């Protein structure tokens, strides 16, 4: 048995998802969001794959993530979505030719204090249109814009962005409201604009702008609470698969696992699979979750342990060494997220360090 649990990453699926996004946003450039280790898929291999597939730029949340890309030889534009927070970080961003967001007065001041400017860096001015997380508020936009424009010869370019709070809810009036506010605040400024995340790319075609910023959709996963990536023409890029390490008989009336929370109502056959919360499966995954073994979708029973789960395989031919799929093309991560009362973002980002990533 090679490696028990592993996350198989499909380069073909990543490339196909990028093509699907381009089809949806044919006039926009694509800023491929690969923060948090590319949503658990492995930032370096995913960066290489998406750049080869034609992504226009990459985006990460933290300076360390960007520097790791540069250290590995990635020369594509990389955007720091939260910007930089100290002079030292600014110096590293400038030296690394990183583009960065400026979302508040302090970051603007850091840029103003950067001797020699940031001539190789495009600056993304973030405008808050209702998310109330990052970005200049409406009453601060004009002054910030003026200060940024005064630096325009010291940076590679100015771009304007905002972020939607409710784009995953097609019925929410918030997205339209945010678009209106953004349009009013940026007026006829001659700079490139970016608004749309994955959800808006599919649900708000009027929001596409010069750059779209897909994350989840690149990995083939739906940002909407209902439905799966396949319904949007996307293919799951990760297949999280492990191995049956033993199969045992459990008599009627006996329980399985910690707390004895599941009890066999009939003589049962239980497969133990090497996957637990130590690998990133939430402890809260329990009733309603299935594991695919061979051609069968079989129910997880009892609690998730650190290293193992139990699956009821009664009446199904399952043996030690069989593959057991937690999520992937056989059953979307969206289903598992719903069963665990979480979101697919969290399950994907949660795949732990000890799970080897195999990109092919």
Ligand X SMILES: *Cc1c(COP(=O)(O)O)cnc(C)c1O
How far apart are the C-alpha atoms of 185 and 237, rounded to whole Å? 38
Q: Measured in whole angstroms, how far is the alpha carbon of residue 258 from the centre of its chain?
A: 32
Choose between 195 and 301: whose C-beta lies nearer to ligand X. Answer: 195
Nearer to ligand X, 42 or 223 (CB): 223
Q: 118-126 and 99-102 as β-strands: parallel, antiparallel, unpaired?
A: parallel
Q: Which two tokens stand for residue 351?
A: 């795949």
Q: What element of type H or E holds 181?
A: helix 174-186
Count of residues engaged in binding ligand X, rule: CB under 6 A: 13
**What string marks each residue from 138 to 177 as x (binds ligand X by CB under 6 A) or -?**
-------------------------x--------------
Q: To the nearest whole angstrom, how small is the minimum distance from the Cβ of residue 161 to ligand X?
A: 7
Mapping DSSP onto H, E and C, the string for 306-352 reads CCCEEEECCCCCCCCCCEEEEEECCECHHHHHHHCCCCHHHHHHHCC
Q: Count of alpha carbons within 13 Å of 216, Cβ hemisphere only? A: 26
**Cross-strand bridge partners of residue 58:** 32, 78
Of these, 20, 41, 213, 303, which contacts ligand X (CB under 6 A)?
A: 213
Catalytic residue among 2, 35, 39, 180: 35
> Which listed residue (42, 130, 135, 214) binds ligand X by CB under 6 A?
214
Minimum CB distance to ligand X, residue 50 (Å) = 13
Ramachandran class of 132: left when φ > 0, alpha when ψ lies in -120 to 50, beta otherwise: left
The yes-or-no answer on residue 35 being catalytic is: yes
Report the DSSP beta bridge partners of residue 124.
101, 159
Round to whole Å and give the CA distance between 329 and 332. 6
Least Cβ distance, residue 353 to ligand X (angstroms):
21
Choice between 136 and 262, CB closer to ligand X: 136
The neighbour count for residue 153, using CB atoms within 10 Å, is 8
The residue range among 210-218, 264-272, 280-288, 299-307 that interacts with ligand X, by the rule CB under 6 A, is: 210-218
Q: In the structure encoding, which two tokens stand for residue 279, read together?
A: 């690998």
Nearer to ligand X, 131 or 339 (CB): 131
Q: Which candidate in 191, 219, 258, 345 is catalytic?
A: 258
Stretch that binds ligand X, among 216-224, 233-241, 319-327, 333-341 (CB under 6 A): 216-224
| Residue among 209, 223, 282, 344 that touches ligand X (CB under 6 A) | 223
Residue 223 or 328: the one with the smaller Cβ distance to ligand X is 223
Of the residues 215, 220, 280, 328, which one makes contact with ligand X according to CB under 6 A: 215
Nearer to ligand X, 5 or 32 (CB): 32
Stretch that binds ligand X, among 104-112, 211-219, 250-258, 309-317 (CB under 6 A): 211-219
Residues 10, 15, 21, 24, Cα dihedral to 10°: -120
Backbone dihedral angles phi then psi of residue 359, each to the nearest 5 degrees: -95, 135
Is residue 108 involved in binding ligand X (CB under 6 A)?
no
**96, two tokens:** 């690394």
Cβ-closest position to ligand X: 215
To the nearest whole angstrom, how small is the minimum distance from the Cβ of residue 346 to ligand X? 12
- Stretch in the footprint of ligand X (CB under 6 A) among 18-26, 43-51, 214-222, 316-324: 214-222
Q: Which is nearer to ligand X, 21 or 108 (CB)?
A: 21
Spell out, one character per residue from 48 to 87, where the chain touches ligand X: x when CB under 6 A holds, - when not.
---------------------------------x------
Residues of span 5-34 touching ligand X by CB under 6 A: 33
Stretch touching ligand X by CB under 6 A, among 192-200, 255-263, 266-274, 319-327: 192-200
Q: What residue ranges in the chain does DSSP mark as E strands?
A: 6-9, 29-33, 57-60, 78-80, 99-102, 118-126, 155-161, 192-194, 211-212, 238-250, 255-256, 262-263, 268-273, 290-293, 296-301, 309-312, 323-327, 357-359
The CA distance from 145 to 354, in Å, is 45
Q: Which residues are catalytic?
A: 35, 258
* Residues at the interface with ligand X (CB under 6 A): 33, 35, 81, 163, 197-199, 213-217, 223
């Amino acid at each position: 048995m090679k490696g028990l649990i592993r996350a198989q990453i499909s380069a073909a699926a990543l490339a196909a998802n990028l093509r699907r996004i381009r089809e949806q946003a044919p006039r926009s450039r694509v800023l491929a969001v690969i923060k948090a280790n590319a949503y658990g898929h492995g930032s370096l291999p995913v960066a290489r794959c998406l750049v080869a597939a034609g992504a226009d730029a990459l985006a990460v949340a933290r300076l360390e993530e960007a520097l790791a890309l540069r250290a590995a030889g990635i020369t594509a534009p990389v955007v720091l979505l939260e910007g930089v927070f100290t002079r030292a970080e600014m110096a590293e961003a400038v030296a690394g030719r990183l583009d960065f967001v400026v979302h508040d007065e302090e970051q603007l001041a850091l840029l103003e204090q950067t001797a020699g400017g940031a001539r190789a860096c495009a600056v993304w001015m973030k405008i808050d249109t209702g998310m109330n997380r990052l970005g200049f508020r409406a009453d601060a936009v004009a002054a910030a814009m003026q200060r940024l424009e005064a630096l325009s010869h010291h940076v590679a370019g100015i771009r304007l962005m905002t972020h939607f709070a409710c784009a995953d809810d097609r019925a929410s009036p918030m997205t339209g409201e945010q678009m209106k506010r953004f349009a009013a605040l940026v007026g006829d400024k001659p700079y490139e604009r970016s608004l749309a995340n994955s959800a808006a790319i599919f649900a708000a075609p009027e929001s596409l702008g010069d750059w779209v910023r897909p994350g989840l959709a690149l990995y083939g996963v739906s940002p909407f609470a209902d439905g799966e990536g396949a319904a949007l023409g996307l293919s799951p890029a990760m297949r999280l698969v492990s191995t049956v390490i033993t199969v045992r008989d459990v008599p009627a009336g006996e329980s399985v696992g910690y707390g004895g929370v599941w009890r066999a109502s009939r003589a049962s056959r239980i497969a133990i699979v090497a996957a637990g919360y130590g690998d990133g499966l939430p402890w809260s995954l329990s009733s309603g979750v299935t594991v695919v073994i061979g051609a069968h979708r079989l129910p997880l029973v009892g609690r998730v342990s650190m290293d193992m789960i139990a699956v009821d395989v009664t009446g199904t031919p399952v043996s030690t060494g069989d593959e057991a799929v937690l999520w992937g093309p056989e059953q979307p991560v969206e289903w598992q997220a719903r069963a665990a009362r979480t979101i697919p973002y969290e399950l994907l980002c949660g795949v732990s360090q000890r799970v080897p990533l195999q990109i092919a």
